Amino acid sequence: MKDFEKNVFVNCPFDQEYRPLLHVLIFTLLYLGFRPRLALERSDSGESRLHKIVELIHESKFGIHDLSRCQAHEKDELFRLNMPLELGIDMGCKYFPGKRWKTKRLLVLETERYRYQAAISDLSGCDIKAHQNDADLLIKAVRDWLVQEASLNQAPPVSEMSSAFQDFYGSEYDRLRHSGWTEQEIAHLPTDELKRNMMTWMASR
Amino acid sequence: MENAYHVYQRPNGRWSVRKYGAVRAARNFGNRSGAMAFGKKMARAQAGKLFVHQRNGRIESLLEFTTGH
């Protein structure tokens, strides 16, 4: 299976509030030499979303699942169940027969440290990292997890990756603004396009 | 982008100003206003830019300075 060892399935909120953290997450994975795989990367309307997700999980040794939206913000707002569902599919793979599935590694993220326990008590006892909606804490959680689970040698420190992300984000914002993009257009730049721009920026350094 | 600076808050609550391309902060501050004042002073002196980041990385604002302002 092509790139199985480098593919990281990213299961996280795709809303505007989470968007900068999604960009931090993608940037961190690329910076460390991994391939972030997201349901957003393909937009074939004829393909069912669940089929697409199962395929991404199938192709990825690593999975990052952010359960930050396990709590509704407003009265009568339904909390989102897609992320726990996708975590369940990825987690279930580890129990399938076959050596490949036993090598799968998962990182579960949350905004707050113990909030998930009330929502998904079956995860009690699992190691869950809290990022507090902070870019540096998110970079640290992903970096440290990959150093351990992917046996990364000489991974750069958080400060280096954090600085590089700020520099990229700033130069990208400046470039788009001076190319005539509106704030609204920048805010809705397709994630896959931004991912390609990150790769171009990293290659040019 | 050589004359650009970033203002941002660290996980420990302190605020920092960092020059574009550097890994370490130029100065650290106990509050946002101190970091903003220093960031503006540095960017203004070099007719540069100042990016202000939120904790999640989002760019809150971009200030651009030209010579003589």
Which residues pair with residue A151 across a beta bridge? none
Domain-embedded: residue A2: no
Q: What is the pLDDT, as a whole number, of residue A47?
A: 72
Among A68-72, A142-146, A152-156, A159-163, name the one with the lowest average pLDDT.
A68-72
Q: What is the largest CA-CA distance in chain B?
A: 36
Torsion of CA A136, A142, A143, A149, to 10 degrees: 160
**Burial (0-12, 13-18, 19+ Cβ within 10 Å), B15:** buried
Among A17-26, A35-44, A180-189, name the one with the lowest average pLDDT.
A35-44
Check B11 against A177: CB less than 8 A apart: no
Domain-embedded: residue A46: yes
Domain-embedded: residue A125: yes
Comparing CB atoms, the residue among A132, A135, A159 nearest residue B57 is A135
How many A×B Cβ pairs under 8 Å?
Answer: 63
Check A21 against B18: CB less than 8 A apart: no
A13 or A124, greater pLDDT: A13
> Where residue A43 falls among pLDDT bands split at 50, 70, 90?
low
What DSSP string describes A62-74?
Answer: EEEEE-TTSS-SS
Q: What is the pLDDT, as a whole number, of residue A8?
A: 98
Place of tokens 């971009």: B62
Q: What is the pLDDT, as a whole number, of residue A157?
A: 97
Domain-embedded: residue B39: yes
A144 or B69, greater pLDDT: A144
Domain-embedded: residue A1: no
Which chain B residue has the Cα nearest residue A174? B62
Check A167 against B11: CB less than 8 A apart: no
Owning domain of residue A66: 7-204
Domain-embedded: residue B50: yes
Cβ–Cβ < 8 Å for B59, A170? yes
Domain-embedded: residue A149: yes
pLDDT value at A136 more than 90:
yes
How many domains does one find in chain A?
1
pLDDT value at A122 more than 80:
no
Q: What is the pLDDT, as a whole number, of residue A73?
A: 66
CATH number, domain at A156?
A: 3.40.50.10140
d(CA A14, CA A23): 10
Single out the residue of A17, A23, A20 nearest to residue A36, CA to CA: A23
Domain-embedded: residue B12: yes
Query: How large is the ipTM?
Result: 0.95
A94 or A115, greater pLDDT: A94
Domain-embedded: residue A133: yes
Cβ–Cβ < 8 Å for B38, B19? no
Domain-embedded: residue B55: yes
Check A163 against B4: CB less than 8 A apart: no
Domain-embedded: residue A33: yes
- Mean pLDDT over A188-204 rounds to 96
| Residue of A162, A182, A186 for testing the chain B interface, max B β-carbons within 10 Å | A162
Domain-embedded: residue B40: yes
Comparing CB atoms, the residue among A20, A136, A137 nearest residue B58 is A20
How many domains does one find in chain B?
1
Domain-embedded: residue B69: no
- Cα separations in angstroms, A31 against A39, A199, A203, B17, B59: 20, 9, 10, 23, 20
How near does any CA of chain B get to the CA of A81, in Å? Answer: 23
Domain-embedded: residue B9: yes
> Where residue A204 falls among pLDDT bands split at 50, 70, 90?
very high
The phi-psi region of residue A10 (left if phi > 0; otherwise alpha if psi is between -120 and 50; otherwise beta) is: beta
Domain-embedded: residue B49: yes
> Where residue A46 falls among pLDDT bands split at 50, 70, 90?
low
How near does any CA of chain B get to the CA of A88, in Å? Answer: 27
In the predicted model, what is the mean pLDDT of chain A?
Answer: 90
B53 contacts in A (CB within 8 Å)?
A: 135, 166, 169
Domain-embedded: residue A67: yes
Owning domain of residue B22: 4-64
d(CA A41, CA A31): 19
d(CA A46, CA B64): 46
Among A86-90, A126-130, B27-31, B58-62, name the one with the lowest average pLDDT.
A126-130
B21 contacts in A (CB within 8 Å)?
A: 167
